Chain A
Amino acid sequence: MPDALRPPLTRLGIAPGRLGLGLGLAILLLFSGIWAISGRLDLPAPEAMDLLARLAPPSATHPLGTDHLGRDLAARILAAIPVSLGAALAAMAAILVIALPFGAVAALAGGRVDMVMMRLADCVMAFPTLVLALAVIGFLGASLEASIIGVVVAWWPSNARLVRALVMSAQERDFVRAARLSGASRARVVLRHILPQILPPLAVLVSLETASILLALSALSFLGIGAQPPTPEWGAMLNEARPFFAEAPHMLLAPGLAVLIAVIAFNLIGEALRDLLDKREPYRW
């Protein structure tokens, strides 16, 4: 390819994929970095109320302003990092714990077992994810744990389907067949040949799904049925900010941006990984 036709970034030796990956990882590092040093920042406790400074706009004492109880928004947003991101990662981990074995077993067993397992997943997938999560939480009682469970219940089947598709296509590769024909044990085939193959696309999946789970969890908290006050959580902060959004928009802006940036980070990483894994180059016209 003539040099002049290449995208400018590529000319500098930076693939757009790498840029996205770098950016996404940098954002996540930034979040964890800020959280790590937040103890040393001179911020009030996230639960501390200053009823005289309610709904204060951003100022020197309160860099992001205060909420309706005079709590420092900056302190709350920082304190929410482990809660909001932690909940999303925990939900993703739980989904993988269900979806990985479920999808893999379905794909490896094939035939009737596969069919029954997939029909089972279909039954759950027929319901709108958010509504299913809502129903589950409605019956468990609102809490962060309940919203994680709700999201796991609603999200696992689509992930199980994707895992199954990945394992199926990995199984079809020539060297996997060869390994099986040469008498390698089933466990060996799975661990040595299939797993390494599905890991990269799985990383893409996990990253993109974490983004969507983060959105779902914050939406549930926004509805007031996720994290319980006074636990700082971005979605819950938005829920608390809602009645004041005409007079104190600063309450709405900061937590919303926090969710947005975190979701962007996961999406960037996912897309960038996919670009990097996709070795094929489109023909130029």
Chain B
Amino acid sequence: MLRFLLIRLIATLPTLLGMSFLAFAIVAIAPGDPVMMELRAMGVVPKPEDIAAIKAEYGVDRPFLARYVAWLGRAVQFDLGRSVATGRAVTSELALYLPATLALSVSALIGAVSISLGLGLIAVMAGPAVSAATRALTVLLVSIPSFWLALLLIHAFVLELGWVRLIGDGSLPDLILPALTLSLGAGATLGRFVYERVRAERCEDYVRLAIAKGLGPMRILLAHIAPRIIGPLATAWANTLGALLGGAVIVESVFGWPGLGQLILQAIGQRDFPVIQGYLVFMGLIFFATSLAADIVVVLSDPQLRRRLSDA
């Protein structure tokens, strides 16, 4: 297992490198100079030597590749530079917003997994009419624009019923609406996936064998089908978590949720290059972490694969 982990980690190194290069390059080619914007906002008339000094400070007077290498060297020591806008370290900026985004994404994931299992299993197990209705509901939820859903929910629960506050401070009750918005869409997408996987497994011979043995549907589902689909499901969950962490931008902005989505929207607006780079790298790392976790689950849940790995 350790060996597998090691190989898996080494295999991702080139991708990590490529990803970091992309994150750096995207930002480096962007127009807009945060320092000049700040100077102008302050009402300062900069002298050429001031500008040169600032450029030297941010290293933008050096060639592109040299800057990338220097940046990467610091990044591996968790030094992503300082935010131009706030003067704080990018890592502490990320840390400021991460808890809110984590809380939102994890609760949305839990919601999405429950919804998906509910929708998927009802679609598989129930009678034809209920099954068709469930699938129709799934299509509806997959198709609903999240920002529109968010506005409808705000209209209903904040304006009409007055059950929840709009401007949360990150406490639990404020989490309900944004988490619900996110989990409905993600849950439906996952539900579709659950339905497809279970349906596909039900076409396999081992299911026919189990039916012939006289096992009940629940038993077959839990004892035979579940172990086989847990791997792909884990991968899907991991991808969903990654997508929720990064994809909550719009929902966060509609609800004013103080998460990473707000950070990146602000950073793009303010041309806060170190923050944009740091955010992209961080999201890339999350992506690799979640897909690694999924791979481990896949290996653990597949006895054959596990054996092969321990033999090798």
A residues within 8 Å of B by Cβ? 6-9, 16, 20, 119-120, 122-132, 134-136, 138-139, 211, 215, 218-219, 222-223, 235, 238, 242, 245-246, 249, 252, 256, 259-260, 263-264, 267-268, 271, 274, 280-285
Give the Cβ gap from B227 to chain A, nearest Cβ, in Å.
17
- Chain B 11-52 interface 0/1 with A at a Cβ cutoff of 8 Å (1 = within): 000110011011100110111100000000000000000000
> Does the CB pair B145–A263 fall under 8 Å?
yes
Report the count of interface residues on B (CB-CB < 8 A): 62
Choice from A130, A138, A281, A285 contacting B203 with Cβ under 8 Å: A281
The 4 A-B pairs of least Cβ separation, nearest first, read A128-B246, A7-B128, A282-B202, A123-B18
Question: A130-B247, A238-B151, A246-B159 provided; 16 other pairs, C-beta below 8 A?
Answer: A7-B129, A128-B249, A131-B246, A131-B280, A134-B265, A135-B26, A139-B32, A218-B145, A222-B145, A246-B155, A256-B145, A256-B152, A260-B140, A260-B145, A282-B203, A283-B202
A115 to chain B, nearest CB (A): 9
- Which residues of the other chain, B, contact A7 by a CB distance below 8 angstroms? 128-129, 132
Q: A127-B283, A139-B30, A242-B151 are in contact. Are A122 and B15 (CB under 8 A)?
A: yes
From B195, which residue of chain A is reached at the shortest CB distance?
Answer: A271
The residues of B that contact A260 with a CB separation of less than 8 Å are 140, 143-145, 148
Chain A residues in 8 Å Cβ range of B154: 245
> Closest residue of chain B to A20, judged by CB?
B139
Q: Which residues of B contact A283 (CB under 8 A)?
A: 202-203, 207-208, 211
Is B120 among interface residues, defined by CB-CB distance under 8 A? no
How far apart are A168's CB and chain B's nearest CB, in angstroms? Answer: 17
Binding site secondary structure of chain B: helix
Complex contact A139–B18 (CB within 8 A): no
Q: Is B243 an interface residue (CB 8 A)?
A: yes
Known: A211-B143, A246-B159. A128 touches B247 (CB 8 A): yes
Q: Find out whether the CB atom of A124 lies under 8 angstroms from the CB atom of B26.
A: no
Q: Within the complex, which residue of A122, A129, A130 is in contact with B250, where a contact is CB–CB below 8 Å?
A: A130
* A219 and B252 alpha carbons, distance in the complex (Å): 13
Which residues does B use to contact A, with CB under 8 Å?
14-15, 18-19, 21-23, 26-27, 29-32, 128-129, 132, 135, 139-140, 142-148, 151-152, 154-155, 159, 192, 196, 199-200, 202-203, 207-208, 211, 216-217, 220, 242-243, 245-247, 249-250, 253, 264-265, 268-269, 276, 279-280, 283-284, 287-288
Q: Is the CB of A126 within 8 A of B250?
A: no
A-B contacts, CB under 8 A, total:
154
Q: Which residue of B lies closest to A255 (CB)?
A: B148
Known contacts A8-B128, A283-B202: A127-B246 contact under CB 8 Å: yes
Q: Is the CB of B143 within 8 A of A135?
A: no
When distances are taken between beta carbons in the complex, the residues of chain A under 8 Å from B199 are 282
Q: List 22 A-B contacts (CB under 8 A).
A: A7-B129, A119-B14, A120-B18, A122-B19, A130-B246, A130-B250, A131-B246, A131-B279, A134-B264, A211-B142, A215-B143, A223-B253, A246-B159, A249-B155, A252-B148, A256-B145, A256-B151, A260-B140, A260-B148, A282-B202, A285-B202, A285-B207
Which residues of B lie under 8 Å from residue A119 when comparing CB positions? 14-15, 18
